[in-house]
A and B are shown apart, each in its own frame.
Chain A
Amino acid sequence: MSPLLIGPLATGAISGLLALVIALTDRVVNNYGEVTMDINGGKKSLKVKGGSPMLGTLGSEGIFVPSACGGRGSCGACKVRVLSDVGPVLPTETPYLTPQEISQNVRLSCQIKLKKDIQIEIPDELFYVKKYTAKVESIRDLTYDIKEVRVLLKNPSSMEYIPGQYAQLVTPPYEDIPESVQRAYSMSSRPGEPDHVELLVRLVPGGIATSWVFKYLKVGMDMELVGPFGEFRVHDTPAAMICVAGGSGMAPFWSMFRDMKEKNTFPEKEIWYFFGARSSRDMFFLDELRALEKEMPRFHFVPALSESKPEENWTGDTGLITDVLDRYLKGKIDPSRPKEGYLCGSPGMINACIDVMIRNAIPESGIYYDKFA
């Protein structure tokens, strides 16, 4: 054989042989066999193929742990408490874990490779979380920067959720956004209409999901939702609900109030709803909420504008929503009644309202909110 051929052939043969050895090593070393995942002390037991990160494996088994980054270890949302030994906390996890979480062995499920039988603890609600394909039925402009997106669920065709919970909207890669992302939006729809979901999306300049909704989402398109998630809901206590929202923070309340009226749940609960906006062009659902006020005597609606101009003929309250809230808590709402706080809006608004509520003797443990920063 020509010496010119021998060299490349021999080199190729050696490479091939080594590649074969590597492949065999991979089969042996990375073969973790079948791994049993025990979730919440025997509530669910899964037999899965080992070797992959836990987040993806749980997802393929239909259990969706919240994750905004899709398993790249950059959002820190996919926390799961691990009860069995899976080795020390990895350097990729430490930035997202508090010392308390580390002491309880809370881990990022996207960073944990399933290597042996494992016991984990997740919130029970996650068992009901599914990935939905939905068709956009309508997109309505509520204000100049808030849209209501109403979708028809196709597969699965209905969602069971509690008013106040949120879903994650999945955006595909677009423009220079290289990958699919998920962003949380409270559902504004009523659970009584389980085949439809409505989300209120406010345009955040530069926001990945909101820009996609405003620029690319069109009626008739298919999109994906993962949900429901979240602990935000009406609590069954005799305390009066003091709800405060701004902007698209309307969503969970719009769902809660309509559901409470429709099913007459918590009939003893008195509801005060404070909705703050700058000017009347930021206001929406005014007529609907005022109508609800008439139909439901225990519901009181307090819209307030902070920068109202005389020509707007605004007849409601004025001032920052925190000041309005403070005025009402000091006077118009019976001070002797126990109260609970329900907040939805920007982190700044939530923090300011918590301060006002605590000053007005609402216990901090009775103030509920979801902070979507």
Chain B
Amino acid sequence: MNTEPLLNPVVLFFASIFTSNILLSNFLGMCSFISISKDKTSANGLGLAVTVVMAICAAVSWLVLRYIVVPLQIEYLSFIIFIIVIAAVVQMLEMIIDRVSPALYMSLGIFLPLITVNCAILGAILFMQIRSYGFLQAVAFGAGSGLGWWLAIMLLASIRKRMENNPVPAGLKGAGITMVTIGFMAMAFIGFSGMIAVQ
């Protein structure tokens, strides 16, 4: 944990959006990615929620990791602790969204509490732990990964919108063609890989 920052947080921020997009290079957070990308408005709302949760969770988890988990040598409990942190942050965000925008709250519906079990968020926090990021790096990585996830779901939602009237073979309709699309998107993003080493 006392290692010097390896990477400029700003670089890390952009790297996590584009070159190592958590969704398209690590394939994390797939369930809501596929199910909410049917409609752009909900995709946008969920993307925003994931971004906020990821940034806050990265910061809180880093503090918990640095000042509680490591000194007490209870790293073996870090998974559980991270999940508790995520659950708490989502719970608070849920209350705040309900207060600020009931319409967004209703349109996110069940997916808002389900962010708790969105593996992209736990994944980002674990990457942060494994790669021994500093605080600023952790926040930059969390926010960047969230924005990357948001970007990916918006891209997929737009593509699905355009494909709505296209002649898709019957057997591939729905989930099938979506998976193929995601594959192509991932291949496009793989083109960036190796430009910046994030670890």
Whether B84 is near chain A, meaning CB under 8 Å from some CB there, is: yes
Q: Once the chains bind, are A87 and B92 in contact (CB under 8 Å)?
A: no
**B residues near A19, Cβ cutoff 8 Å:** 88
Whether B162 is near chain A, meaning CB under 8 Å from some CB there, is: no
Q: Once the chains bind, are B92 and A22 in contact (CB under 8 Å)?
A: yes
Given known contacts A6-B74, A15-B84, A18-B85, A30 and B103 CB-to-CB distance under 8 angstroms = no
| Segment 4-43 of A: residues with Cβ below 8 Å from B | 6-7, 10-11, 14-15, 18-19, 21-22, 25-26, 29-30
Q: How far is the CA of A19 from the CA of B89 in the complex (A)?
A: 10
Q: How far is the CA of A88 from the CA of B104 in the complex (A)?
A: 11
Q: Once the chains bind, are B91 and A22 in contact (CB under 8 Å)?
A: yes
Whether A297 is near chain B, meaning CB under 8 Å from some CB there, is: no
Whether A104 is near chain B, meaning CB under 8 Å from some CB there, is: no
Q: Once the chains bind, are B68 and A26 in contact (CB under 8 Å)?
A: no
Whether A91 is near chain B, meaning CB under 8 Å from some CB there, is: yes
How would you classify the secondary structure of chain B's contact residues: helix, strand, loop or mixed?
helix
Whether B110 is near chain A, meaning CB under 8 Å from some CB there, is: no
Q: Once the chains bind, are A14 and B106 in contact (CB under 8 Å)?
A: no
Q: Once the chains bind, are B92 and A11 in contact (CB under 8 Å)?
A: no
Name the residue among A10, A15, A21 with the largest chain B CB count within 10 angstroms.
A10
**Chain A: interface residue count, which band?**
20 to 34
Q: Once the chains bind, are A26 and B73 in contact (CB under 8 Å)?
A: no
Q: How far is the CA of A178 from the CA of B61 in the complex (A)?
A: 43
Interface bits A51-91 vs B (CB < 8 Å: 1, else 0): 00000000000000000000000000000000000011011
Whether B102 is near chain A, meaning CB under 8 Å from some CB there, is: yes
**Chain B: interface residue count, which band?**
20 to 34
Whether B95 is near chain A, meaning CB under 8 Å from some CB there, is: yes
Q: Once the chains bind, are A22 and B103 in contact (CB under 8 Å)?
A: no
Name the residue among B76, B91, B99 with the largest chain A CB count within 10 angstroms.
B99
**B residues near A11, Cβ cutoff 8 Å:** 74, 77, 80-81, 84
Q: Once the chains bind, are A7 and B92 in contact (CB under 8 Å)?
A: no
Q: Once the chains bind, are A7 and B74 in contact (CB under 8 Å)?
A: yes
How would you classify the secondary structure of chain A's contact residues: helix, strand, loop or mixed?
helix
Whether B64 is near chain A, meaning CB under 8 Å from some CB there, is: yes
Given known contacts A11-B80, A87-B102, A88-B103, A30 and B95 CB-to-CB distance under 8 angstroms = yes
Whether B72 is near chain A, meaning CB under 8 Å from some CB there, is: yes
Q: How far is the CA of A88 from the CA of B74 in the complex (A)?
A: 48
Q: Once the chains bind, are B102 and A25 in contact (CB under 8 Å)?
A: no
Whether A92 is near chain B, meaning CB under 8 Å from some CB there, is: yes
| Segment 37-64 of B: residues with Cβ below 8 Å from A | 64
Residue on B with the closest CB to A113? Answer: B102
Question: Smallest distance from the beta carbon of B137 to chain A beta carbons, Å?
Answer: 23
Q: How far is the CA of A29 from the CA of B77 in the complex (A)?
A: 31
Question: Smallest distance from the beta carbon of A202 to chain B beta carbons, Å?
Answer: 40
Question: Smallest distance from the beta carbon of B95 to chain A beta carbons, Å?
Answer: 5
Q: Once the chains bind, are B72 and A6 in contact (CB under 8 Å)?
A: yes
Whether B96 is near chain A, meaning CB under 8 Å from some CB there, is: yes
Name the residue among A6, A18, A26, A115 with the largest chain B CB count within 10 angstroms.
A18
Given known contacts A14-B81, A21-B92, A30 and B99 CB-to-CB distance under 8 angstroms = yes
Q: Once the chains bind, are B96 and A29 in contact (CB under 8 Å)?
A: yes
> In the complex, which of the residues B77, B84, B96, B102 contacts A90, with contact meaning CB atoms closer than 8 Å?
B102
**A residues near B73, Cβ cutoff 8 Å:** 3, 6
Q: Once the chains bind, are A18 and B74 in contact (CB under 8 Å)?
A: no
Q: Once the chains bind, are A29 and B99 in contact (CB under 8 Å)?
A: yes
Q: How far is the CA of A88 from the CA of B88 in the complex (A)?
A: 29
**A residues near B85, Cβ cutoff 8 Å:** 14, 18
Given known contacts A29-B96, A29-B99, A7 and B88 CB-to-CB distance under 8 angstroms = no
Q: How far is the CA of A115 from the CA of B101 in the complex (A)?
A: 12
Q: How far is the CA of A171 from the CA of B69 in the complex (A)?
A: 55
Q: Once the chains bind, are A91 and B84 in contact (CB under 8 Å)?
A: no
Residue on B with the closest CB to A1? Answer: B72
Residue on A with the closest CB to B103? Answer: A88
Q: How far is the CA of A10 from the CA of B71 in the complex (A)?
A: 11
Interface bits B94-112 vs A (CB < 8 Å: 1, else 0): 0110110011001100000
Given known contacts A6-B74, A10-B74, A22-B92, A91 and B106 CB-to-CB distance under 8 angstroms = yes
**B residues near A115, Cβ cutoff 8 Å:** 99
Q: Once the chains bind, are B76 and A7 in contact (CB under 8 Å)?
A: yes
**B residues near A29, Cβ cutoff 8 Å:** 95-96, 98-99
Binding site for B on A (CB under 8 A): 3, 6-7, 10-11, 14-15, 18-19, 21-22, 25-26, 29-30, 87-88, 90-92, 113, 115
Of the A-B pairs whose beta carbons lie under 8 Å apart in the complex, a sample of 20, sorted by A's number, is A3-B73, A6-B74, A7-B72, A7-B74, A7-B77, A10-B77, A11-B74, A11-B80, A14-B68, A18-B85, A18-B88, A19-B88, A22-B88, A22-B95, A30-B95, A87-B102, A88-B103, A90-B102, A90-B103, A113-B102
Q: Which 10 A-B pairs have the closest CB atoms?
A: A18-B88, A7-B74, A25-B92, A29-B95, A29-B99, A7-B77, A10-B72, A88-B103, A6-B72, A90-B106
Binding site for A on B (CB under 8 A): 64, 68-69, 72-74, 76-77, 80-81, 84-85, 88, 91-92, 95-96, 98-99, 102-103, 106-107
